[in-house]
Amino acid sequence: MNNILEVENLNIAYGHDDVVKDVSFTVNKGDYVNIIGPNGAGKTTLVKAILGLINDYQGAITIKAETVGYLPQKNNNNDKMFPASVKEIVSLGLLGNHKRPKLFTANDHKRIEEVLKKLGIYHLRYRRIGELSGGEQQRVLLARAIVNNPQLLILDEPTSALDPHFKQEFYQFLNRLNQEDGITILHITHDTGNKESGYNKILYINRTILYYGLKENYLDIEEHHHA
Amino acid sequence: MHDIFETLIEALSSSFIHKAIFVGILVAISSSLLGIFLVLRKFSFIGDGLAHVSFGTIALALFLGITPIYVSVPLVILSSFLVLKLNEKADVHGDAAIGLVSSFSVALGYIIASSTSGFTVNLSNYLFGDILLVSNVDVYLSLILSIIVILTVLYFYHDFFALTYDEDFAQVLGLKTKRLNYILSILTSLTVVLGIRVVGTMLISSLIIFPTVISLQIARSFKKTIIYSLIISIISIVLGILLAIILNTPPGATIVVINGIIFVFVYLFKVLRSR
């Protein structure tokens, strides 16, 4: 099969509270899945389990991608004085591919610069990350997420810190990653009505899956509901 | 002035000062290499806490008549693991865990010290250190310990950088973050034990904190922060030793005061530059 991710009977509970309940779905290579649902619906918990950040769960998660990229909601490190340059932060994305002592090659540096240029932040490469605006930091983190050419890219509501102008650019950029580079995307978002976004599937979750399938079918159901 | 030079030249030609400077530089390199990871992860006081633990272990070693370093290295490493475990399993916050373990060790050390007559003088040497009294054994042990610290930090440099910046992302990359935390704890313990000879248990955390905090004022990248703090650390230790000889002051305290002065100058430089 052409699966890149399989989640089977996933259950995650905090104490007696079932945050994710009986969740099963399969993502094919090349899919662009928008994960939607109300606040507290377990979207971030689900994604964290897929990423290996939560290990205390029942069920099975199988990832067939060799490389995974991850873009969190916002920069986890909000220390403005943190002495890391943009280039150093982006280089972290390559660590997963390297054996220790994890020395970077000339090719790695070329790849980092290529991604920085692609995202329009090459001129910021020697700046401290803490000095940049929220939107600029998000671009740096996106660069970090894609620098290792991931087969699967997971994004957790990354657009909330972005200005509207860059939001459009951001969606177009994701479309290109999906359509031109063939990267499979899992994208938690509130922004389903965005016309720029080129997703093909929707996973609607409220602790348990309420809908998983093609975008068109979901929109039909939604229209039917509103009619 | 002439006298000062004479004292200095005389001191510089003696082997005890060579040993002191050699050990001082080793400690400077180890402590400043680790400093950045501890300061930025807000674990600055782990150094202080482990130094308190080492006070207890030294009292125990003197009581048992064993060279302190042999007792301190394993016990301080074990205590650093205990701090991590308390933090992980018992939900005790990092700073509280350090406080628990360190005050308990000091109390225990003090009970041992006060129940035995005659070694309070010996113990006070360890409180503030005396680098001018290092023995050949100290030199060899310092060399071995600091080589372990330096090579391990270089080997895991990118892993520690990832861990320090964003532990979640480090985990997504597949790094074993728990294991890395334990390795950092071992290295910190070794550095604390090493530094006791130089500045003593009371001041060791300054060697870990000062050089990093000073270089954070001016550096714009992680690598440069480490390079600047290495330079600052070596300068302050060598200068401290020389000034201590000239002014006849305690070397450990002199090193820390020099660090403080450098901090003020660098901070003023940063403020003036930004105007």
My answer on whether A164 and A222 are in the same domain is yes
Task: Please tell me the predicted confidence (pLDDT) of residue B255.
Answer: 92
Asked if B171's CB is within 8 angstroms of A52's CB, the reply is yes
d(Cα B208, Cα B192) in Å, to the nearest integer? Answer: 9
pLDDT of residue A226: 59
Query: Vertex A117, ends A115 and A121: CA angle to 5°?
Result: 100
ipTM attached to this prediction? 0.87
As beta bridge partners, residue A36 has A204
Phi, psi of B119 (to 5 degrees): -110, 15
Whether A221 is covered by a domain: the verdict is: yes
- Cβ distance A101 to B155 less than 8 Å, yes or no, reads yes
B162 to chain A, any CB pair closer than 8 A? The answer is yes
Question: What is the residue type of B113?
Answer: A
Please state, as a whole number, how many other Cβ atoms lie within 10 Å of the Cβ of residue A168: 15
CA B180 to chain centre: 19
Based on its alpha-carbon atoms, the radius of gyration of chain A, rounded to whole angstroms, reads 18
Give, as one character, the DSSP assignment of residue A31. Answer: -
Say whether both A106 and A11 belong to one domain. Answer: no
Question: What does the alpha-carbon distance between residue B258 and residue B263 come to, in Å, rounded to a whole number?
Answer: 9
Report which DSSP code applies to A37.
-
Query: Per the structure, how many domains does chain A have?
Result: 2
**Alpha helix (H) ranges present in A119-159?**
134-146
Comparing C-alpha atoms, which of B222, B65, B229, B62 is closest to residue B158? B222
User: For residue A28, what is the enclosing H or E element?
Assistant: strand A17-28
Q: Does the distance separating the beta carbons of A126 and B169 come in below 8 Å?
A: no
In a domain, residue A73? The reply is no
Q: Are A137 and A204 in a shared domain?
A: no
Q: How many CB pairs under 8 A join A and B?
A: 80
How long is chain B? 275
Name the residue of chain B whose CA is nearest to A50's CA.
B172
DSSP A181: S
Do B232 and B15 touch, CB atoms closer than 8 A? Answer: no
Is B171's Cβ below 8 Å from some Cβ in A?
yes
Which of B114-131 are b and which e, b meaning 16 or more Cβ less than 10 Å from the residue's Cβ?
eeeeeeeeebeebebbbb
Indicate whether A71 belongs to any domain: no
Q: Which residues contact B208 (CB under 8 A, 6 or more apart)?
A: B31, B32, B34, B35, B38, B39, B44, B47, B188, B191, B195
**What is the per-residue pLDDT for A85?**
95
Co-location of A190 and A211 in the same domain: yes
SS3 call for A71: strand
Q: Domain ranges in chain B?
A: 2-274
Q: Which long-range contacts link B110-114 to residues 24+ away (Cβ below 8 Å)? A: B110/B59, B112/B56, B112/B59, B112/B60, B112/B63, B113/B59, B113/B62, B113/B63
The radius of gyration of chain B's CA atoms, rounded to the nearest angstrom, is: 19
- Comparing CA positions, the residue from B231, B153, B241 lying closest to residue B190 is B153
Categorise residue A114: left if φ over 0, alpha if ψ from -120 to 50, beta otherwise. alpha
pTM, rounded to two decimals: 0.88
| 3-state SS assignment for residue A102 | coil
Structural domain for A144, as ranges: 80-150
What are the pLDDT tens digits along chain B (275 aa)?
667 778 778 878 888 888 889 999 999 999 999 999 999 988 888 888 999 999 899 889 888 888 888 899 999 999 999 988 888 877 788 788 888 999 999 999 889 888 876 666 667 778 777 788 788 888 898 899 899 999 999 999 999 999 999 998 999 988 999 999 999 999 999 999 888 877 888 788 889 999 999 999 999 999 999 999 999 999 999 999 999 988 989 888 999 999 999 999 999 999 998 87
As a whole number of Å, the end-to-end CA separation of chain A is 38
| CB–CB contact B169 A96 (8 Å) | no
**What is the residue type of A32?**
Y
Q: Could you tell me which of B60, B63, B57, B62 has the C-alpha nearest to residue B79?
A: B57
Same-domain pairing of A89 and A127: yes
- What is the three-class DSSP state of A190? coil
A29 and A60 fall within a common domain:
yes
Statement to judge: residues A180 and A199 lie in one domain: yes
A96 vs B174: CB contact, 8 Å cut-off?
yes
- Domain assignment present for residue A74? The answer is no
Is A170 contained in some domain? yes
Cα distance between residue B227 and residue B234, in whole Å: 11
Task: Please indicate, yes or no, whether residues A161 and A143 belong to a single structural domain of this protein.
Answer: no
CA distances from A113 to A83, A87, A116 (A): 20, 8, 5
CB-CB neighbors (< 8 A) of A53 in chain B: 168, 171-172
- CA neighbor of B202 nearest in space, from B141, B262, B125: B125
For residue A195 the two structure tokens come to 């016309």
Give the mutation candidate from A53, A54, A88, A126 for the B interface (greatest B CB count, under 10 A): A88
Contact: A83, B166; criterion CB under 8 Å:
no
Tokens of A58: 């029942």
Mutation for B interface: A61, A92, A104, most B CBs within 10 A: A92
Last residue in a domain, options A150, A183, A205? A150
Q: Of the candidates A150, A181, A203, which is a domain's last residue?
A: A150
Residues forming beta bridges with residue A27, ordered by sequence position: A5
On whether both A161 and A62 belong to a single domain, the answer is: yes
CATH number of the domain encompassing residue A224: 3.40.50.300
Length of chain A: 227
Rounded to the nearest 10 degrees, what angle do helices B136-155 and B68-89 cross at? Answer: 30
Please tell me the distance from the alpha carbon of residue A178 to that of residue A152, in angstroms, as a whole number. Answer: 10
Q: From CA A46, how far away is CA A36, in angstroms rounded?
A: 12
Structure tokens at B76: 């301080």
Say how far apart CA B186 and CA B79 lie, in whole Å.
10
Q: Give chain A's residues under pLDDT 70.
A: 1, 161, 192-195, 222-227
Q: Which residues contact B183 (CB under 8 A, 6 or more apart)?
A: B152, B156
Among residues A103, A135, A150, the one where a domain terminates is A150
* Cα-based angle B94, B39, B216 (whole degrees, multiple of 5): 155
Which numeric CATH code is attached to B2-274?
A: 1.10.3470.10
